[in-house]
Amino acid sequence: MGKPLFQIQDLHVSVEGKEIVKGLNLVVGRGEVHAVMGPNASGKSTLANAIMGHPRYQVTKGKVLFKGEDVTALTPDERARRGLFLAFQYPRAIPGVTMVNFLRSALRAVRGSDVPVREFRTILRETMTMLKIDEDFARRYINDGFSGGEMKRAEVLQMGILKPDMSILDETDSGLDIDALRTVAEGINSLMSEERGMMVITHYQRILDYVQPGFVHVLFDGRIIKSGGPELAHELEAEGYERITGASVAGEVAS
Amino acid sequence: MTDRKATEMMPDSYKWGFHDEARYVFRTERGLSRKVVEEIAGIKEEPQWMRDMRLRALEIFERKSMPNWGPDLSAVNLNDLYYYARASDRPERDWNEVPDYIRSTFDRLGIPEAERKFLAGVGAQYDSETVYHNIREELAKQGVIFADTDTAVREYPDLVRRYFGTVVPPADNKFSALNSAVWSGGSFIYVPEGVHVDIPLQAYFRINAENIGQFERTLIIAEPGSFIHYIEGCTAPIYTTNSLHAAVVEVIVKKGARVRYSTVQNWSTNVYNLVTKRSVAYEDAVVEWVDGNLGSKVTMKYPAVYLMEPGAHSEVLSLSFAGRGQHQDTGAKAVHVAPHTTSVITSKSISKDGGRASYRGLVKAYSGAKGIRSSVRCDALLLDGDSRSDTYPTMEIDERDVTVSHEASVSKVSEEQLFYLQSRGIDEQEATKMIVNGFVEPIVKELPMEYAVELNRLIELQLEGAIG
C-alpha cells in the first residue's frame, strides 16, 4: 500500500467560532505508537474530538486521512466502522442501557453483521478477564455511577472488543491509581500490533512508562511545536512544559 | 427534511393502521339519549338495577360540563358517536369459533400467539362486545372468575352489584358518568381469598369501527391475601374522524392482597383516550399500576390509589410518548386516607415533533394520616426543540407528620450521548433508540417480557418517524 495508516494534514479546528487547533500535521504508520503531550488548554481534547468527528468541533481547514481515505466529512459512526476509535477522557453515562447490550450493538455495527451470542460472550469474557473487570460490570448501565477508574477500564474494554486499527486515547491515565494504570496499560499493549496504530494523548508522562511510544509530540496552542523520540517525554517530565513552549508562548495561555 | 418527516408520520407508517370490514349484528343510532341507553340495557337483557344505574348516570352526564382544566377537548363531538355496536352474537370461548374476519384482525395483532404463550384467560374486546374469552381450567378450579363484565352482570349479579361504581361513582367526572351510562364489555375479575394467580391475565381491546366510542368497564376484586396481575394492551386502526375511548377501571384490593395492573396503550392518533382508573387499597394491600401510553390524539389518564388502611402501599409507573399532534396528559394520584401508608409515583415522558407530554399528579394526605411516605419522580425527555413537557404536581397535605418528596427533571437527548454511541459505530438513529429505550427501562423492566418487547418496538416505531 505505502500509504500511512493515519494522517493529519494542516488541520484547523474551531469550537463555537474560536480556533483551537491551528494547522496540525501528524503521521502515524502501522505498528507505531505516538504520544501527543501538552499542557492544559493546548488543544488535546479538541484534537481527539475532531479526529472522531464530534459535530461541535468544526474542521475549517485541512483533513484527516485514514487508510488513505479522507474521513473528514464522515459521521463518527462511519469513522468507527472503518476502524477508528477514541477512548474518551470523559465518557458519557447512558442510563438504562446495559454495557453488554451496548458492546454487542457496537460490535455488530463495526463488523457490519450480527455477532453470534456464544462468540460474543467468549470475546466479552476474555477481554474482561484481561482487564480484571468483574462479571456483573456487563450488566451495569453505560458509565452510570462508574468511578473514574471504572470508566477508563470500560473505555479500554470497548477498545478490546472492537479491536480498532487506529486508537486515540484521550487522557486514559487520568483518574487511575497505579495498579489500575498498569492493568489498563497491559490491555492497551495487548491490542497493539504490526498492523495497528495508536495515539496516546496525555498531560503526564506517567502512562508512557507502560505504553511506550516510539514518537513523542508536544502540542501547544493548537500546533505541534516539537517532535522527537521517547526521550522527549522524559525531558518534559524533568523540566516541565515551559522550557519547550517558551515564556512568551506561556503568556498566551494566561491571556 | 421537515417534509420528509411529515410523510413518515402519515398513516402508512402506522403498523396497525389496517381496517377490517366489521359486520355489525346491531348498533344503536348516532348520538346519546335515554332511548339509546335503554336499548343498550335491553339488548343485554340487564336487570333493573343496572338499567336504573345507567339512566341515573346519563342524567349526571348531561348535567356535568366537559373538563376544562387540561387538554383541549373541543373537537370531541359527543352527538356524532355511536355508543353501542355488537359485532358478533355471543361471547365465544374457543378460538376456532370466533368469526373469520374478527380472527384475521386478531391474527395480525398476534393474539393467538399470546394465547399460546400464556395459556391464561384471553379476553379480547372487539368493538363493544367481548367475543372471545377463555379461562384456563385451573383458574376456574381456584375459584377465580375472569369474564367480560356483561357476562358477570348476568352470572354473578350479587358480586357485581356490590362493587360496581363504588370506586369510581358515575358522578366522579363527565366521562365516568358517560361510561356508566353506556358501558359495554371490559373485564370482570374476582380472586378469592388467598389465591395467587401466577400467570398474568390479559385482554386486548380494539376500536374497529368509525365513530364508535368504546366504553369498557373493568372491575377487579382481590380478596384478602390474594394476588393477580392483569394486563391490557391496545392497538387501533387509523380513521379520519375522531374516536372516543372512555373506560372506567375499578380495582378493590383487600387486606394483604396485591394487584398489578399493566397497560400498553397504542390508540391511533385520532382517538381521545379519557380513562378513569382507580383503586382502593386496604390494610397492607399493594396496588401497582404500570401504564404505558403511546398512541391517541389526547390521553387523560391518572391512575389513582386510595390508601384506606395502615400498611397499604401503592406504586404507579407511568410512561407516555407524545409525537406530532399528540397531547399526553398523564400522571397519578395517591390519596393517603390512613396513617402509615406509602406511595411511589414514577413518571417518564418522551416528546418529539412538537408533541406535548404533561405530568399531572396529586398526592393527598388527610389530617390524621400520620407517618405516611410518598415520593414522586417525573422525568421528561425531549427529542427536539419543538416538543413540550409540563409538570402539574399537586400536593394537598393536611397532616404534619409526613414524608413527601417530589423530584422532576427535563432533559434532551444530548449531543454528547449521541456522539459517544456513534463513536462506537452505532448510527444516529440506532443511538437515539438506545438512549430512549434506556430512559424508559425502569418502566419496561416491570412488564412481562413479551410486553416489554412490544413496548420497545412501539417506541421504536414512533421514533422512526422522527429521525431523518
Please identify which residue in the block is written with the cell numbers 511506550.
A212
CA-nearest of B192, B194, B182 to B221 is B192
Bridge pairing between strands A94-98 and A141-142: antiparallel
Three cell numbers written together for B361? 399528579
Q: How far apart are CA A32 and CA A136, in angstroms?
A: 35
Q: Is A139 helix (H, G, I), strand (E, B) or coil?
A: helix
Q: What is the DSSP track for A4-63? A: -SEEEEEEEEEETTEEEEEEEEEEE-TT-EEEEE--TTSSHHHHHHHHHT-TTEEEEEEE
Residues of A in contact with B426 (CB under 8 A): 77, 105-106, 109
Q: How far apart are CA B190 and CA B160, in angstroms?
A: 10
Q: How far apart are CA B269 and CA A69, in angstroms?
A: 46
Is B116 a residue whose pLDDT tops 50?
no
Helix (H, G, I), strand (E, B) or coil at B297: coil
Q: What is the pLDDT of residue B413?
A: 85
Mean per-residue pLDDT for B281-290? 97
Report how far apart, in Å, the C-alpha atoms of A206 and of each of A163, A181, A191, A236, B201 are. 24, 9, 19, 11, 61
Sign of CA dihedral A168, A173, A174, A176: positive
Residue B365 pLDDT level (bands cut at 50, 70, 90)? very high
Average pLDDT, chain B: 83
Q: Return the C-alpha cell found at A47.
A: 484534537
**Do A106 and B440 count as a contact with CB atoms less than 8 A apart?**
no
B415 → chain A, closest CA residue:
A55
Lowest mean per-residue pLDDT among B100-104, B148-152, B444-448: B100-104
Whether the CB-CB separation of A207 and A172 falls below 8 Å is answered with yes
pLDDT digits (tens), chain A, 255 positions:
568 999 999 999 999 999 999 999 999 999 999 999 998 889 999 999 999 999 999 999 999 999 999 999 999 999 999 999 999 999 999 999 999 999 999 999 999 999 999 999 999 999 999 888 888 899 999 999 999 889 999 999 999 999 999 999 999 988 888 888 998 999 999 999 999 999 999 988 889 989 999 999 999 999 999 999 999 988 888 888 888 777 444 434 433
pLDDT at B9 over 70: no
Q: Which whole number is the average pLDDT over B224-234?
A: 87
Distances from the Cα of A67 to the Cαs of A11, A76, B326, in angstroms? 17, 16, 48
Name the pLDDT band for B103 (thresholds 50, 70, 90): low
Q: How many CB atoms lie within 10 A of CB B413?
A: 18
Across the beta sheet with B313-322, what order do the strands follow?
A: B129-134, B122-126, B201-206, B227-235, B258-266, B286-293, B313-322, B342-351, B372-382, B402-412
Please check whether residue A56 touches B, CB under 8 A. yes
Say if B439 is an interface residue toward chain A (CB within 8 Å): yes
Among A95-99, B107-111, B448-452, the minimum mean pLDDT is found in B107-111
Query: Torsions phi, psi of B208, nearest 5?
Result: -135, 30
Q: Does B425 touch chain A (CB under 8 A)?
A: yes
Q: How many other C-beta atoms are found inside a 10 Å radius of the C-beta of residue B303?
A: 28
C-alpha distance from residue B319 to each of A17, B293, B351, B456 (Å): 40, 6, 11, 12
A96 and B437 within 8 Å at the Cβ level: the answer is yes
Q: Which of B130-144, B308-322, B429-443 has the highest mean pLDDT?
A: B308-322
How many angstroms separate the CA atoms of B47 and B57, rounded? 16
- Contact status of B411 with chain A (Cβ, < 8 Å): no
Mutate to test the interface with B, among A84, A105, A165 (most CBs of B within 10 A): A105
Nearest to A240 by CA among A254, A250, A248, A227: A250
> What are chain A's domains?
6-254 (3.40.50.300)
Contacts of B447 (CB under 8 A, 6+ apart): B262, B264, B290, B292, B455
Query: What is the arithmetic mean of pLDDT over B419-442?
Result: 94
Asked whether the ipTM of the predicted complex exceeds the cut of 0.85, the reply is yes
Q: What is the per-residue pLDDT for B24?
A: 66
Contact A97 B440 (CB under 8 A): no
User: Which bin fits A177, alpha (ψ -120 to 50), beta or left (φ > 0)?
Assistant: beta
Partners of B441 on chain A (C-beta within 8 Å) are: 95-97
Its pTM stands at 0.78
Q: Is the pLDDT of residue B403 over 80?
A: yes
Q: Cβ(B467)–Cβ(B428) under 8 Å?
A: yes
Q: Chain B contact for A244, CB < 8 A?
A: no
Angle made by CA atoms A47, A53, A55, in degrees to the nearest 5: 105
Distance between CA A50 and CA A35 in Å, rounded?
17
Q: Which of B423, B440, B441 sits opposite A80 (nearest CB)?
A: B423
**Which chain A residue shows the shortest CA-CA distance from B425?**
A77
Which pLDDT value is given to residue B81? Answer: 85
